[in-house]
Amino acid sequence: MFCGIEGRVSCPSSDSPSNLSDETLQLYTRSIPSCEVVEFRQSGHMIPDDEQEKYIAEVNLFLEKISSEVRAT
């Protein structure tokens, strides 16, 4: 279902209605053990513009994690 990426994907996602249902979110978190959910409550569609500082911080955390995982292999 996830093309072999299970356990290797972590991406940063508002009080604005989401197109992602609770059921789909649960499917992701069950299927991808390392899945992390990050809420951007002050954002609509343009998360990088609406919550720039938080977005940058979350992207940096993601990059640090995958960088350390690559170094460990």
Residue 1's pLDDT band, with cuts at 50, 70 and 90, is very low
CB 51 within 8 Å of CB 43? yes
pLDDT tens for each residue of 30-42:
999 888 889 888 8
What is the reported pTM? 0.65
pLDDT tens for each residue of 13-64:
445 667 788 899 999 999 998 888 898 888 888 999 999 999 999 999 999 9
As a whole number of angstroms, the distance between CA 31 and CA 6 comes to 6
CB 68 within 8 Å of CB 40? no
